[in-house]
Structure 1
Amino acid sequence: MSGEGKEPQAIRKLQPGRLVIASHNPGKVREIAALLDGRGLDVVSAAALDLPEPEETGTTFVMNAELKARAAADLSGLPALADDSGLCVDALGGDPGIFSARWAGEDKDFARAMDLIEAKVAESDPNPARTAHFVCALALAWPDGHVEWFEGRVDGTLVTPRRGTKGHGYDPMFQPDGHAQTFGEMDDDAKNGVSHRADAFRQMVAAVF
């Protein structure tokens, strides 16, 4: 596994072939597939294989990513890559954090989730800090139980009104530091150059390819 503060040292390289992306989120699958393009992998989603979504019972991003990757690798008999990511808002003590998807409800209504964040931030302080960060944990699991994990982060600010219809999840309300556009306004190439997921992928690519 990768270690915080150290260059990731993979015990095992990922060989060309079929790889399961352990997600039922089409936007996330598309983003991960783009980041893996050109690596000699035949990417297939957990949804396409009709794999069930495991309950995310972990208390950290890494634990939930590993849980999902292990489940997909066990059921498919293939290496599996899982992502667990979320938005951490400073004014809310880091919420929604690992519960980012759950704030959107079973119907994945992220517009409602963003409304909820705005309401809670407004309640927290008359002039709240609007700083926030995204975290992405990647777990790469093999059917024999071996797992590698990597964690990325990007800092930014919450904006209102929300801007952009690209991306997915909380992207329209998050403007990364040093950029004039929100993730919701960026095209895939621009976002993949600066995002928390791209940060985690850079670490993974250095380690396992």
Structure 2
Amino acid sequence: MTDEDLVIPDGSDDESSSATVEDLLAELNAGRTVVGGSALHRVMHRAAQDALRITAELNGSYHDGASVRALLAQLTGRPLDDSVTLFPPFHTDFGRNTTIGRNVFINMGCKFQDQGGLTIHDGALIGHNVVIATLNHPLDPAHRADVIPAPVVIGKGAWIGSNATILPGVTIGDGAVVAAASVVTKDVPAGTVVVGSPARVRRMVDGS
């Protein structure tokens, strides 16, 4: 689907030109729907271009750890602790609503859609090709371009296995494990292991 398919206006009106990323974040973090084609929707699309530019630089050539963190800090608009490790390639179409704690490891190929809010707490481990989504769309085709935000939280010491998908509004509890290729549709209690699509609790991390 292209921007033309979504009928995104050119943003030349006064309302659009006065809207900012901060206005967009305030709306998203309040959990309010952003209407397709609105001034805030246009801000989101412009912010996506910034994210695509930064990720193209990140993924286009070799960078040492410090340089990767610097580019990730540009994406998020927040400083990163030196203990954070990210292995490119990495993809996001926003970045400005992601918060990353200390000693976080993000492996290659991850895709984060963070407009709805993404918090990754200290010590979290995120495997290859994990997809995290924080936006949904109405089922009604007449309003399908609207976006509905719902934050995702990854708890302290949680481990997300390769190729897992975390859907909007989900909290992964501290120390929990999401098995590879699982699709997580609801909250994961702390200290549990979840498996499957949809992911279900199989056992505790202590083996019980």
TM-score by length of 2: 0.26
TM-score by length of 1: 0.26
Q: Looking at secondary structure, tell me which structure has more helix per residue.
A: 1
